[in-house]
Amino acid sequence: MIITPARRTKGVQEYYFSRKQKDLDAVSAKLQAAGDRLINLGIGAPDGMPPAAAIKALVDSATTPGNHAYQNYKGLPAFRQAIADWYERFYEVKLNPNGGIQPLVGSKEGILLISMAFVNPGDKVLVPDPGYPTYTSASNLVEAEVLTYDLKEENGFLPDFDALEAMDLEGVKIMWVNYPNMPTGAKATPEVYQKLVDFALKHKILLVNDNPYSFILTDKPISMLSAKGAEECCLELNSLSKAHNMSGWRIGMVCGAPELIAEVLKVKSQMDSGMFKALQLAAIEAVGQGPEWFKELNAEYSRRREGAGKIFDLLGAKYNPDTAGLFLWGRIPEKYACGGMTAGEALSERILHEAGVFITPGFIFGKNGENYIRVSLCANPAMMEEARCKIEKALDKIL
């Protein structure tokens, strides 16, 4: 390399699932040669079809002349209004469609955009442990100081406010929050959201709630923006990826006070030229789905969660069978740690190489995840059972 990479890249590495894919490809090729197959229970990429109305809108609008031009950076007014209507209908939150909503290329994009818009080098950022790795990597890319706050099983993987208050919070700009939580599946309550908002207001911290799992295996979706005072200190990321089976479409949004959204737009408008019109028109149809869509979706995920539980029972993992989101999170004995690997990583490797099933090790989500493993619910019940049988057949070598 004839030049030195930017300093900001030294704090990050290639995303775990991207790095791991080489290993998975090698195992898959070996299994295929033997007439078998790899079952990947890792990433939460929904395998169901999007709403039929969304697919039709995409096709129809993609064949309409004039729909392939650059679009407004802020998104179509009709799309922003549809998001506002969606929030009011399901979350009972009123959003301002003229400044309080910014469409995104998936909510993941928003994590970096928000970090770039509000964090200076040396500023502090509160990140949950365990938590989505992108919160940390985005913070590192903007050269922030990452402060982790613990989410522990004994506290239901909810924030410990006494512990938060005991931290040195001087210089903290952003606090990342994610409920229903990934990877643990823990559910927040309106009371927890109110405590978080009160904490953020007290310490003058921008609170960012990452909310893409709010419809999955929950009785009623809730938004942090419903808490009193949230408009002063909160942004909320959301997405059609999970609850509408549209992960590859990359349609998300960030919602909040117009003055906060305007800062995000400053950054985003330097990086793209608006979302494809056909995608926006399809998204309008997607967010227009009624409760029956989510009822059917969750009936299927409930069956899958049960199947994932049977895998954990076989492995002796302890788990909560009533969690939300696209994953089941299980604690395993620390004795499985070996060869310099944490318990979760060591068990995951043995399951992969002995049974041909990939289960995500919890260490990638932080220190508090080292003795855990995570199963994605993005595999149908038959595949879950096939994975369980493969693991059971190799159980003597795994345990």
**Domain coordinates of the chain in residue numbers?**
7-48+292-398, 69-290
By the 10 Å C-beta count (0-12 exposed, 13-18 middle, 19+ buried), 396 is classed as exposed
By the 10 Å C-beta count (0-12 exposed, 13-18 middle, 19+ buried), 236 is classed as buried
In DSSP terms, 330 is beta-bridged to 319, 373
Tokens of 331: 């604690």
The phi and psi torsions of 344 (rounded to 5 degrees) equal: -65, -40
* CA–CA gap between residue 89 and residue 102 (Å, rounded): 19
* CA–CA gap between residue 375 and residue 315 (Å, rounded): 12
Nearest residue to 176 via CA among 202, 141, 143, 151: 151
CATH architecture of the domain 7-48+292-398 equals Alpha-Beta Complex (3.90)
Amino acid 14: pLDDT: 85
Amino acid 263: pLDDT: 98
pLDDT in tens, the chain (399 residues): 899 988 888 878 888 888 999 999 999 999 999 999 999 999 899 999 999 999 999 999 999 999 999 999 999 999 999 999 999 999 999 999 999 999 999 999 999 999 999 999 999 999 999 999 999 999 999 999 999 999 999 999 999 999 999 999 999 999 999 999 999 999 999 999 999 999 999 999 999 999 999 999 999 999 999 999 999 999 999 999 999 999 999 999 999 999 999 999 999 999 988 999 999 999 999 999 999 999 999 999 999 999 999 999 999 999 999 999 999 999 999 999 999 999 999 999 999 999 999 999 999 999 999 999 999 999 999 999 999 999 999 999 998
Amino acid 126: pLDDT: 98
Question: CA triplet 44, 374, 8: central angle to 5 degrees?
Answer: 70
The phi and psi torsions of 87 (rounded to 5 degrees) equal: -65, -40
Amino acid 81: pLDDT: 98
Mean of all residue pLDDT scores within the chain: 96
Amino acid 15: pLDDT: 85
How long a stretch of residues is the chain?
A: 399
Q: Are 94 and 245 in contact (CB under 8 A)?
A: no
Hey, what CATH class is 69-290 in? alpha beta
* CA–CA gap between residue 255 and residue 201 (Å, rounded): 18
